[in-house]
Structure 1
Amino acid sequence: MSTNEKQYKSETVKIMIIDDVKANTLLLEKLFLMNGYQNITVIHDSTKALEAIDQEDPDVLLLDLKMPIVDGFEILASLNERDHPLLNSLLVITAYHDSEYRHRALQLGARDFLTKPFDPTEVSLKVRHLLETNHQRRLREDQNLQLESLVLQRTLRIAELQDEYVLRMITAMKHRDNETGRHLMRMSQYVFQVAKKLGLPEEHCDTLKHASAMHDIGKLAIPDRILLKKGRLTLEEFEVMKQHTTKGAELLSGSRSEVLIMAESIALTHHEKWDGNGYPRGLKREDIPLEGRIVAICDVFDALTSTRPYKSAWTEEEALAEIQRQSGIHFDPEIVQAFSEIFTEIVETRMRWLD
């Protein structure tokens, strides 16, 4: 038995089965228990499926298609609309043999199929394959982040610039919010591309790329009850959240490093607006540093196109249309124009950093 296989058969692996036929779920549950999986959730009432998925956060989902009231296709469609990561570990259980149904399930994000009546060995192999594939995907993602950190360390001369302190803060942010690491990497790539389009020197673009990854460092000082809240913030909570700009600038202040000086400026100004209605200081137009104006657009684009507890992800085209609508209001029109001209490249970058 391999190391990975042992890991997957530990108590940490969560398996969820959604099927209205109890005979099927009993057979699957017994099979998984025999194979060493101990954390198994069974849902017979498909109307409670999405709520259970959100609460349990399973590693693998076995989903029946033909169920009363809410069928498997509706559950798939909802997960697809939210770009739910569980789609990477979703195994459809189906009695349908018509390719039309298979194609429809695949289009909605299903990764593989089990055909009723199912073969126990096939079930075990498919589940193990999904777990191993996702484990490898997460390893690649971690390796990408580590490589990015290594490049950042060499570029900034870590020992001289005390950047280990900053990297530890970024790592702490990733531990508080799983999406933060991917958001930082995507957003800093967009910033680099926009800066190049604006004609900034290559070295300045590199500095801006690394500095922009620290734009939300002040969120380390925001309480978890607000930062990780699953829903919209109240006005009082939003006032606390807004403090991440000034707190981030304070964390980064006092350095002689060009990167950290720029990071301090970005942390403080990336929520200012072109028309002066931003925060924390209500700066307007060119009074907002160029780096803050660039990060503002890239940060909003990635936020709009990402799923949040209180909203579904927008399409890239919808996000672009909103950014263009906010030209001259929220955003610098010149930077909106540059962003629009390289939109295809931005989308390609987003696709690379999603996986």
Structure 2
Amino acid sequence: MMGDFLFSDEPQEAEKDLDLGTWKVIIVDDEPEVHAVTKLALSDFEFQNKRIEFISAYSGAQAKEVIAEHKDAAIVLLDVVMETDDAGLQVAKFIREDVKNNHIRIILRTGQPGQAPERQVIINYDINDYKSKTELTAQKLFTVIMSSLRSYRDIIAIEQSRLGLEKIITASRDIFSSHSIDQFIDGVMQQLTSILGTAEKAMYATSLVATNHPEEENNKKLIICSGAGDFEQSEGRRIEDIFNHDQLKACNEALINKSIVYKDHYLFAYCSSEFNHNAILFVSGIACQLSDTQRNLIEIFAQNVQQAFENVQLQSEIEQTQQELVFRLSEAVEQRSAETGNHVKRVAHICYVLAVGYGLSKAKAELVRLASPLHDVGKVGIPDAILNKPAKLTPQEWEVMKTHTDKGFTILKDSRREIVNTGAIIAQEHHEKWDGSGYPKGLKGEEINIFGRIVALADVYDALRHKRCYKKPWTVQDVADEINKQKGLHFDPKLVDVFNDSLEELETVLSRYPDTYSI
């Protein structure tokens, strides 16, 4: 970014020592004297505390190389007639059409205006000024350079604002699509790093965090909810335990004045909230000098980030409540069949492992994890005498038992919630078999939804490994042998391969959620 947009809160004496950069001006002319005179005339030129850096090219071909190399040049003083009569015009065309640099200001200078009539050149080429060398006195050269730099400055400012707006739109999309607090904070940090160019450390603290200390909630203590860099391991800690005296002073200043405090290489930004929750965004490792655009973007973040945080937290709370209701409903169903509720927990995590191993996206794997506990919800419609019968079911009883798939589908179908709709599919299809011999529809191969295929294997694996009213638990080897025997018959062959590769991880899931009785 150009230094003329930078400003500092430091005293005026310190500003004189700052290196604010230069304005790059490319001189393109085949006469060395023109270069020397131009540099002499502008030797003391200064605009917004920045001097001119001259770059020389002595032909159209050389000019193209220089322009391609210095894309941040502000002005090109371009001779028309050099190695050819229209060499300068070809360079102008190269700048706009080949390099696609629409920022640099092109000032044509010619000693033979008759060969390139001004009106024709202005109409046919995207140039910004046209001067005859004979009329371009030192004063007029100063004037044209000053006006061109002002134009260039404004164009860059507009471009930075446009890019900043794009970043805000992108940030809003990414941040508000987050499904967890961690994702939200990561999104904020990534976007701030993009806007500021660098950020060594970043931290977001808010009073809208549940703690184990009620007095802290009443006093609205700021608790770090997430961070990057040195703050990655600071979640849950109070800011008083993290910052030094000067940083805490700056933080309190931002809170009291509801503002943004810039100090040294860091900032504290107060984040507003319609629910009156205090929140602070801290970023370190930033440049001492920030452009107007960067500061404006930080202000926008500060104004909206807490509202976004609260929305994401509310969404997360709703999703967690939905998940808990699903598990509790599923546990109630399993308890009717004399099984512990941990069966549905194990099946859920087994499904996730199989789904990821199968190649499904994390979103799809998470969906089957959340929906799989509903696979036997239809058993609420099965009589206890059949559900808990310790002996083998009669053919008539087996036909009744098989209806739990359609009953579950009927209970869950037509929901506007993706988890419930997925649960309906799973409830109906988790007893279908790869070879078409399953029920209720006799679906075959990939006619069976992948979610149904995954739950089928997960359910059988967990059921065989645990005690039931009608059987004793099987050993790991016996279960693995049986599942491999059913490869291509009961189960999707690819899923069986995933099962074999993941068996150690699946056994870890079983040990993590044991039944109330031992195997």
Return the TM-score normalized by structure 1: 0.53
What is aligned with 1:222?
A: 382
Question: Structure 1 residues 175 and 350, CA, compared in 2 at 3 Å: closer, same or farther?
Answer: closer
Contact 1:250 1:264 in 2 (8 A): yes
Q: Distance in 1 between matches of 2:317 and 2:446?
A: 29
Please report how far the alpha carbon of residue 169 of structure 1 lies from its aligned counterpart in structure 2 after TM superposition: 3.1
1:157 maps to 2:319: yes
1:334 to 494, 500, 511: 494
1:186 to 331, 346, 358: 346
Q: Give the structure with the larger helix fraction.
A: 1
Question: Structure 1 residues 238 and 290, CA, compared in 2 at 3 Å: closer, same or farther?
Answer: same
1:169 to 322, 329, 340: 329
| CA displacement, residues 200-259 of structure 1 (integer Å, 9 cap, x when unaligned) | 111111111010011000001100010111222111111100000000001101111111
What is aligned with 1:324?
A: 484
What is aligned with 1:250?
A: 410
Question: Structure 1 residues 315 and 154, CA, compared in 2 at 3 Å: closer, same or farther?
Answer: farther
Residues 251-266 of structure 1 mapped to structure 2, 5 A cutoff:
251-266=411-426
Runs of 4+ that moved beyond 6 A: none
Give the RMSD, CA atoms, in angstroms.
2.1
Q: Distance in 1 between matches of 2:388 and 2:450?
A: 30
**Taking CA–CA contacts closer than 8 Å with sequence separation of 6 or more, which of the two structures ends up with the larger relative contact order?**
1
Residues 1-355 of structure 1 mapped to structure 2, 5 A cutoff:
154=316, 157=319, 166=326, 169-354=329-514
Question: Structure 1 residues 171 and 345, CA, compared in 2 at 3 Å: closer, same or farther?
Answer: closer
Amino acid at match of 1:353: Y
Q: Distance in 2 between matches of 1:351 and 1:175?
A: 20
Bigger mean CA deviation after superposition, 276-285 or 174-183:
174-183
Contact 2:327 2:344 in 1 (8 A): no
Contact 1:242 1:279 in 2 (8 A): yes
**Aligned pairs, number:** 201
Contact 1:169 1:220 in 2 (8 A): no
| CA displacement, residues 117-169 of structure 1 (integer Å, 9 cap, x when unaligned) | xxxxxxxxxxxxxxxxxxxxxxxxxxxxxxxxxxxx9476378x7x7875553
Amino acid at match of 1:241: M
Identity of aligned residues (%): 43
Question: Structure 1 residues 175 and 326, CA, compared in 2 at 3 Å: closer, same or farther?
Answer: closer
Amino acid at match of 1:211: A
Contact 1:306 1:313 in 2 (8 A): yes
Please report how far the alpha carbon of residue 316 of structure 1 lies from its aligned counterpart in structure 2 after TM superposition: 1.3
Larger CA Rg, structure 1 vs 2: 2
Question: Structure 1 residues 185 and 155, CA, compared in 2 at 3 Å: closer, same or farther?
Answer: farther
Q: Distance in 2 between matches of 1:323 and 1:265?
A: 23
Contact 1:275 1:285 in 2 (8 A): yes
Return the TM-score normalized by structure 2: 0.37
What is aligned with 1:16?
A: none
Q: Give the structure with the larger strand fraction.
A: 2
| CA displacement, residues 277-326 of structure 1 (integer Å, 9 cap, x when unaligned) | 00000000000000001111111111111112222111011101110110
Which secondary structure state, in structure 2, belongs to the residue aligned with residue 230 of structure 1?
Answer: coil
What is aligned with 2:107?
A: none
Which secondary structure state, in structure 2, belongs to the residue aligned with residue 281 of structure 1?
Answer: coil
Contact 1:245 1:267 in 2 (8 A): yes
Question: Structure 1 residues 156 and 344, CA, compared in 2 at 3 Å: closer, same or farther?
Answer: farther
Bigger mean CA deviation after superposition, 172-181 or 213-222:
172-181
Which secondary structure state, in structure 2, belongs to the residue aligned with residue 157 of structure 1?
Answer: helix
Question: Structure 1 residues 156 and 242, CA, compared in 2 at 3 Å: closer, same or farther?
Answer: farther
- Structure 2 regions of 5+ residues with no counterpart? 1-314
Contact 2:334 2:341 in 1 (8 A): yes
Amino acid at match of 1:342: S
